[in-house]
Amino acid sequence: MARIIGGIATTHVPSIGKAIADGKQNDPYWKPFFSGFDYVHRWLAREKPDVAVVFYNDHGLNFFLDKLPTFAVGAAAEYRNEDEGWGIPVSRAVAGDPALSWHLINTLVEDEFDITMCQEMLVDHAVTIPLALMWPGQNWPVKIVPVAINTVQHPLPSMARCFNLGRSIARGLESYRPDLKVLVIGTGGLSHQLDGERAGFINKDFDRLCMDKLAADPEDLTQFSIPELVELSGAQGVEFLNWMAMRGALSGKVTEAHRNYHVPISNTAAATMVFDNEPSVRRKAA
């Protein structure tokens, strides 16, 4: 049976891709951020996930404002990246797991999530940067199921809705027969605003509250409405919705294993967290 081994949340600022391409990981500006991944690398080397469900937001590479699904799930054998104009190298394609994708799509629709299913899907920096951070060298040993959440064009789904989306994904994983170790990933955030009068806005207190609540009491965070989330975390800080979905997908006993918080990377409060997920009901060995 598929087993959810844990969750990783990380920012996805595109300039990280340029820093990697230029080998700047040890520069004074970048080191406090990249060194936060030493633990992640050890954790991944030990846990060896087979697949990753990636909750992220597309920034206009695959979906544009003319047609923007609230939730979209990839069901492709591979996902290509393309040049988004950030001046970072185009990544290699990421392998998909169509059988798992269709299983999760079935569960989501059963659970009344009216998702868009994508047999072709480009993935942008919100997928490729986190993978490059987790597995340097582009030797990505996992297949992915990308789940895109609209954090771009209002109205956005609520914090509770995204948390429950993760819950439904967990239910789907728990009924998937192949013996897979599954990692769930949430990308983006934390607080940032890229444009308008509040460009450069960062809110360390709110970021800390979100990180503190995430392990122990994530449902408490559903008290924040989308307008409140914009106010407290910035227009693009709403990418935290991807973190809520990731946390919803951790269905067992969850503990925070690691956290790194560094301000700023580009315009963003850059955070990385790792959660262990111990299944609540241990299944008997076959």
- Could you say which of 13, 52, 123, 180 contacts ligand DHB (CB under 6 A)? 13
For residues 91 and 84, give the distance between their C-alpha atoms in angstroms, rounded to a whole number.
Answer: 11
Q: Which amino acid is at 37?
A: F
Instruction: Please choose which of ligand DHB, Fe ion, none residue 168 contacts, taking the beta carbon within 5 to 8 angstroms, the exact cut-off set by kind.
Output: none
Interaction of residue 130 with ligand DHB, rule CB under 6 A? no
Binding mask 144-183 for Fe ion (x = CB under 5 A): ----------------------------------------
Q: Name all contacts of 207-216 with Cβ < 8 Å and 24+ positions apart.
A: 207/233, 207/261, 207/269, 207/271, 208/261, 210/240, 210/243, 211/259, 211/261, 211/271, 211/273, 214/9, 214/243, 214/247, 214/256, 214/273, 214/275, 215/254, 215/255, 215/256, 215/275
Using CB under 5 A as the binding rule, the residues of this chain from 184 to 213 that contact Fe ion are: 188
> Of these partners, ligand DHB, Fe ion, none, which one is at the site of residue 262 (CB under 5 to 8 Å by kind)?
none
Number of residues that bind ligand DHB (CB under 6 A): 13
Closest CA to 189 of 173, 201, 174: 201
Catalytic annotation present for 125: yes
Query: Is 187 within 8 Å of 242 (Cβ atoms)?
Result: yes
Q: Considering the rule CB under 6 A, would residue 250 count as an interface residue with ligand DHB?
A: no
Which of 12, 59, 125, 262 does the annotation list as catalytic? 125
Per the annotation, the verdict on 262 as an active-site residue is: no
Provide the token pair at 136: 């340097």
The one of Fe ion, ligand DHB, none whose footprint includes residue 268, by CB under 5 to 8 A per kind, is ligand DHB
Q: Residue 57 Cβ, how far from Fe ion at the closest point, in Å?
A: 6
259, 275 in Cβ contact below 8 A? no
Under the criterion CB under 6 A, does residue 242 sit at the interface with ligand DHB? no
Partner whose binding site includes residue 266, from ligand DHB, Fe ion, none (CB under 5 to 8 Å by kind): ligand DHB
Region from 29-37, 95-103, 133-141, 186-194 binding ligand DHB, contact rule CB under 6 A: 186-194
Name which of 127 and 182 has its Cβ closer to ligand DHB. Answer: 127
Spacing of C-alpha 248 from chain mean position: 12
Q: How far apart are CA 126 and CA 186, in angstroms?
A: 9
- Of the residues 59, 103, 192, 262, only one is catalytic, namely 192
Give φ, ψ of 223 to 5 degrees. Answer: -65, -20
Site membership for ligand DHB, residue 81 (CB under 6 A)? no
Single out the residue of 161, 192, 247, 262 in contact with ligand DHB (rule: CB under 6 A): 192
Residue 182 vs 232, nearer CB to Fe ion: 232
Taking CB under 6 A as the criterion, which residues in 253-282 touch ligand DHB?
A: 266-268
- Interface residue with ligand DHB among 16, 20, 58, 59 (CB under 6 A) is 59
Please choose, from the candidates 249, 73, 231, 226, the residue with its C-alpha nearest in 3D space to the C-alpha of residue 152.
226
The whole-angstrom separation of Cα 77 and Cα 55 is 18
Match 């990505």 to its residue by tokens. 140
Establish if 101 lies at the interface with ligand DHB (CB under 6 A): no
Q: How far apart are CA 130 and CA 16, in angstroms?
A: 9
Residues that bind Fe ion (CB under 5 A): 188
By annotation, the residues acting in catalysis are 125, 192
